[in-house]
Structure 1
Amino acid sequence: MRSPFRLRAPVVLPCDPACPVLRDAVVDVDVHGRISYCGPASDAPESPGRVVDRTGILLPGLVNAHAHSPMTVLRGMGGDLPLLRWLHEVIWPAEARLTPADIEAGMLLGSVEMLRAGVTTSTEMYFHGEQLEAAVLASGARLVATMAVIDAPGWDWRAMIEGINAWIDTDGLRHGPDDRIEVGYGPHSAYTLPPEALTLVGEAARARDALVHIHVAEAAGEDATQRERYGSVPAMLEEVGLLGGRVLAAHAIHLSDADIQTFARAGVSVAHCPGSNAKLASGTARLVDLRTAGVRVGLGTDGPASNDDLDLWEDMRLAALLARLSTMDSTALGAADVLLMATRGSAESLGRNDIGALEPGRWADLVHVDVDDPAFVGGVDVPDEQLLANLVWAAGSRTVRDVWVAGEQVVADGEPTKVERAKVQAAASAVTRRLLAS
């Protein structure tokens, strides 16, 4: 049985919709690893247990809405190629040589990298779910495992769907310590699957209230056949019955006004990945238009072979910068907007109300940011707007010192507590060296 405790800090950012800055505040964690109180210390109930004082800022764990983190072992390969050549000539051939153990090594390194950057939950589209789960549980993080479904040599998409069905039906939609693992469906894209597969995925997911996580309209030329037949990929997904229930569209760059309205009408969420989109020259998503239409938008890094890191703080800044540049409006997206997008917004894009904010009943997934850094030259005793600006625009992941998941400290003073980083890096390095030698 865990003991309840209280975290106290000069600033707490609960990340509710108004994005308030709470001064001299506390977060109480109960015996189940959930938040029982978050608010000013002056209004707090009697402390539930030991008090842990931190200087600086406490905020919710960041939520990565789209990633392929086992690709840490492929980082830098084909890095100057456009998307489709990069996939066909470099990535897919390399992935064909990965063993389940390789995938576990890559996922563990990715999980450690994200935790050190304050990312407590990642939404993964990849293969070998048992290895993904083992790696994330070893690091202490949280995982939304949307298992890949693809029609390609060596893969049977029907068997892949049946495997996901069986996993959910056997272990439950969420399972593991503190519900750290959620299982969903990851149909790769409209251009790598027949329409029948997309129909079956939609039916299976809705029957289980599971997340469907799919690449949509990432590169201009990837889905020419589908667009010619259906008009657009969102129109196709609606016609074949994939939409409805919990659907998360990754990238969603090349959308028309009608596509955006289709997403809004069907309740589709978008995982916005500005770093990957820019590196692969895939395009600039219509972020402001999506938000104006009421589409839920979360923030993702994409894979570490296409970004090339798993640092969601960088994508916060890029999201705001590109939104301002594409609209020529310096007020298009502010610091509070992108902070909420990486926390509460990403959780909402997954259909989750138990992570992404510091509110009673949610899991105690927290990040401590140290303000002993040039980014906070004025400390925390500055106006709220300036404090948020310093956090988002200037500080970044280097200021993350401590991380908790369900009240368990998984990063202390910048290092993981449950695994040895040197061993994790060495295991992943061995995989990369073998791939390069083969």
Structure 2
Amino acid sequence: MRQRFTARAVVVGDRAGTVVPDAVVDVDDGRISWVGPADDAPPAGDAATVAVPGVLAPGMVNTHSHAPMVLFRGQAEGLPLERWLREVIWPREGRLTPDDVEVAMTAASAEMLRGGVTTSVEMYFSPERIAAAVGRTGARAVIATPLLPLPGMPPLADQLRDAVALAAGVPEDGTVEYGLGPHAAYTVPLPVLRDAAAAAREHGLLFHLHVAETASEGAGLLATHGLSVPALLAAHDVLGGRVLAAHCVHMDDGDLELWREYDVAVAHCPASNAKLASGVARVRAMLDRGIRVGLGTDGPASNDGLDLLADVRLAAQLARLAERSATALTAAEAFWLATGAAADAIGRPDLGQLAAGRRADLVHVDTRDLLFEPVGDPGDLLTHLVWSGASRLVRDVWVGGRPVVRDGACTTVDAEALRADVANRAARLAGR
């Protein structure tokens, strides 16, 4: 199938913030074959033409999510992370069923698609049901099967064996990819982390874990081993390969140098970190060292949303406050963290930018709104998108050229029925 998209402008999703006015995007069999000004476009031939009146942007990539936690949205308000997990979230998760996970993930996936997020990295229980959910909505997911020593769960060695087996034999269509998701060094023993990292490297899997989210989480490990968590991971051969570390808030210069040395990518979650008062990650210092960084929402119980475009703006604001500099993170860089940089952070060069050879995950943002005025030059469209844009202006979304959102509504699932189903299941899990 050949398609030609025409738009007021294309936002490429690169670090430079390239905006192409009066643009054309050609798609062949789900991949982009050409992008550029309409005046330079090759003949359309038999391509089906799709004209959008606003901006075309890349589908955003959410680098860290526990999306089925829509079941716990807004719960445990005001608690710090450790109490939030142990007193409220983990007890309720102990009552989860695989059906709960699939329904919740389906609803969350539809929510993300309506906000222009076409790919998410998920670390949650029942990974096969998460895959089934995104199969229904038409989104993409990299599913890091969790490894966590909770009551009622199999031994960690068995969890690891099953997770590696699950990752084998997945069709290479770019829709679903499995990885390994040991929770953190303070919950998963170091020998298990080492074995999981070795398995991830052997099979080319994404290895995803939480690191340095709070100031105190590594205190016990530091007292026992005399090393920070990043240094401890390096010393135990956990780093190397496709490692994606979530949060990385409390990192000193030595820790960041280890991340640079081992090419560890960071999933930066500004809204979750702010809500739980965990701190502000040193994004400028990471980028200046060449560390790969992508934006994530974290779970919708700690954000409390899945609106990555809102997190784009917050990431830029917090970086500027932390550095006391209005240039600490530009609008172009902030949007790049949710698109091209996010794709790089998860090791998926087929996603995140509107460029030839990449998958045709396209987002139409309607610019016929006062939020997008005035426009003196094409770059203003990107600036407005970051500083005053809103996910409600996402009108249409295509994944691999397939329409999944039309006129602001998900076309693949019944969002209202899912909302009611999630509400009923959340009440049961809360004991109401």
Shorter-chain TM range is over 0.9
Cα deviations by residue, 1:217-271 (Å, 9 ceiling, x for unpaired): 0011112111221411101111111100000000000001000000000000000
**Structure-2 residue corresponding to 1:33:** 30
Counterparts of 2:271 and 2:214, CA distance in 1: 14
**1:126 and 1:101, CA in 2 relative to 1: closer, same or farther beyond 3 A?**
same
**Structure-2 residue corresponding to 1:393:** 387
AA of the residue aligned to 1:183? Y
**Structure-2 residue corresponding to 1:434:** 428
**Structure-1 residue corresponding to 2:320:** 324
Q: CA deviation at 1:387?
A: 2.0
Counterparts of 1:284 and 1:338, CA distance in 2: 15
Question: Conserved in 1, the CA contact under 8 Å of 2:17 and 2:379?
Answer: no
Question: Conserved in 1, the CA contact under 8 Å of 2:157 and 2:192?
Answer: yes
Please give the secondary structure, in 2, of the residue aligned with 1:26: strand
Question: Conserved in 2, the CA contact under 8 Å of 1:79 and 1:305?
Answer: no
Q: Is residue 44 of structure 1 aligned with residue 41 of structure 2?
A: yes
Counterparts of 1:310 and 1:227, CA distance in 2: 34
Please give the secondary structure, in 2, of the residue aligned with 1:126: coil
* Cα RMSD for the two superposed structures: 1.1
Q: 1:105-116 maps to which residues of 2 (within 5 A)?
A: 105-116=103-114
Counterparts of 1:20 and 1:434, CA distance in 2: 48
AA of the residue aligned to 2:211? V
Counterparts of 2:389 and 2:294, CA distance in 1: 21
Percent of residue pairs bearing the same amino acid type: 49
**Structure-2 residue corresponding to 1:93:** 91
Question: Conserved in 1, the CA contact under 8 Å of 2:148 and 2:182?
Answer: yes
Counting matched residue pairs gives: 429
Counterparts of 2:14 and 2:326, CA distance in 1: 24
Q: CA deviation at 1:13?
A: 1.1
Counterparts of 1:262 and 1:158, CA distance in 2: 28
Q: Which of 394, 408, 418 lines up with 1:424 in the alignment?
A: 418
Larger CA deviation: 9-18 vs 195-204:
9-18
Q: Is residue 205 of structure 1 aligned with residue 200 of structure 2?
A: yes
Q: CA deviation at 1:419?
A: 0.7
Counterparts of 1:154 and 1:382, CA distance in 2: 60
**Structure-2 residue corresponding to 1:149:** 147
Question: Conserved in 2, the CA contact under 8 Å of 1:152 and 1:192?
Answer: no
Question: Conserved in 2, the CA contact under 8 Å of 1:9 and 1:53?
Answer: yes
**Structure-1 residue corresponding to 2:398:** 404
Q: Is residue 363 of structure 1 aligned with residue 359 of structure 2?
A: yes
**Structure-2 residue corresponding to 1:284:** 280
**Structure-1 residue corresponding to 2:236:** 240
Counterparts of 1:361 and 1:285, CA distance in 2: 33
Q: Is residue 158 of structure 1 aligned with residue 157 of structure 2?
A: yes
Q: CA deviation at 1:334?
A: 1.2
Q: 1:59-98 maps to which residues of 2 (within 5 A)?
A: 59-98=57-96
Counterparts of 2:226 and 2:2, CA distance in 1: 55
**Structure-2 residue corresponding to 1:414:** 408
Please give the secondary structure, in 2, of the residue aligned with 1:186: strand
Question: Conserved in 1, the CA contact under 8 Å of 2:146 and 2:183?
Answer: yes
Q: CA deviation at 1:386?
A: 2.3
AA of the residue aligned to 2:34? Y
Counterparts of 2:241 and 2:430, CA distance in 1: 42
Counterparts of 1:306 and 1:60, CA distance in 2: 26
Counterparts of 2:328 and 2:111, CA distance in 1: 30
Cα deviations by residue, 1:319-341 (Å, 9 ceiling, x for unpaired): 11111001100111111011111
AA of the residue aligned to 1:46? P
Please give the secondary structure, in 2, of the residue aligned with 1:121: strand
Question: Conserved in 1, the CA contact under 8 Å of 2:16 and 2:333?
Answer: no
Cα deviations by residue, 1:114-163 (Å, 9 ceiling, x for unpaired): 00000000000011111100111101100000010012222221111111
Q: CA deviation at 1:401?
A: 0.4
Counterparts of 1:232 and 1:397, CA distance in 2: 39
AA of the residue aligned to 2:67? S
Counterparts of 2:73 and 2:16, CA distance in 1: 38
Larger CA deviation: 319-328 vs 147-156:
147-156
Q: CA deviation at 1:69?
A: 0.1
Q: Which of 335, 341, 349 lines up with 1:339 in the alignment?
A: 335
Gaps of 5+ in 1: none
Counterparts of 1:66 and 1:437, CA distance in 2: 28
Q: Is residue 196 of structure 1 aligned with residue 186 of structure 2?
A: no
Q: CA deviation at 1:43?
A: 1.2
AA of the residue aligned to 2:98? P
**Structure-2 residue corresponding to 1:187:** 182
- TM-score of the pair, normalised by structure 1: 0.96
Counterparts of 2:378 and 2:206, CA distance in 1: 36
Cα deviations by residue, 1:28-66 (Å, 9 ceiling, x for unpaired): 111x21111111111111114111111110010000000
Larger CA deviation: 207-216 vs 46-55:
46-55
**Structure-2 residue corresponding to 1:350:** 346
**Structure-2 residue corresponding to 1:167:** 166
AA of the residue aligned to 1:38? V
- TM-score of the pair, normalised by structure 2: 0.97
Q: Is residue 217 of structure 1 aligned with residue 212 of structure 2?
A: yes
